[in-house]
Amino acid sequence: MRLKIKRYSHDVDGLMSYRTILGNLDGGTYNAINLYVGQDDRWKKWLAKVTWDEALGGSAVTLLRVLELHDPEAGEQSRLDSILKFFSDVTDGSSPKLSRLAADMAVDVFDFLLYRGNQEALTYLSDALIMNAENEQGLATIQAIMAPKSAPEARGETCLYAKLRESISRQGEVKDWIEGHIPKSMRLRAYTATSYSEAIATASRNQRGKMLETDLGM
């Protein structure tokens, strides 16, 4: 498991202790997430000002940890629903920077839950992301995660795309789902991020050539 994921998992006795552990590099993300939890409209501007992409990628994990420490009595489903809403909020089109990094955010929170061994939470999130793709905003969210303009560096080791594939398969054929939810113009990006063979099968000849070049490292 990546060291980045482990650093979010420290046992602490409160929010201030957690903030101290995160240090300065993740501090801006933490401050923005605190505003988000407090329903302060400034949160998105603060989060977009974070200059370190790796810290931004940890936003969803930071949100999960802040919610756990802020209200330990709240149920896990409530926290996971907050993560889903957060994904929707960062992919609503108002901040291209945050939309661009939505896939990295999803990668980190999925891998964090895997590190904890929480398969039920992983299934809940992946199923919800796929089911929500049937509405306009949910579709924008899943496209940002599965066909990002810049594929996450951890795409080859994350559990995210395997879990999403499982959720898609429970609804039907992966190929059919891709044809219905990922436009042809996005399928090269989808293949680069997910490595789904179905993205090749549904792509144009030109895109298939580019996908082959990607596989060959050209």
pLDDT at residue number 13: 78
Structure-block tokens of residue 142:
């899943």
Instruction: Give the pLDDT band (50/70/90) at residue 201.
Output: confident
Q: What is the pLDDT of residue 25?
A: 59
Per-residue pLDDT for 93 more than 90?
yes
What was the pLDDT predicted at 107?
A: 96
- pLDDT tens, 138-161? 999 999 999 999 999 888 899 999
| Residue bearing tokens 């302060």 | 40
- pLDDT cut 70: percent of the chain above it: 89
Is pLDDT above 70 for 164?
A: yes
Residue 205 has pLDDT above 90, yes or no: no
Prediction pTM value: 0.91
| Mean pLDDT confidence for 100-114 | 96
Q: Interior CA angle at 100 toward 39 and 109, to 5°?
A: 65
Under the banding of pLDDT at 50, 70 and 90, the label for residue 24 is: low
23 has pLDDT over 70: no
Q: What sign does the dihedral 64-32-17-107 (CA atoms) show?
A: positive
pLDDT at residue 32, rounded to an integer = 93
Q: What is the DSSP string of 153-208?
A: GGGGT-SHHHHHHHHHHHHS-HHHHHHHHS-GGGHHHHHHHH--HHHHHTS-HHHH
**Separation in Å, CA 53 to CA 58, 74, 146, 198, 204:** 9, 30, 18, 30, 32
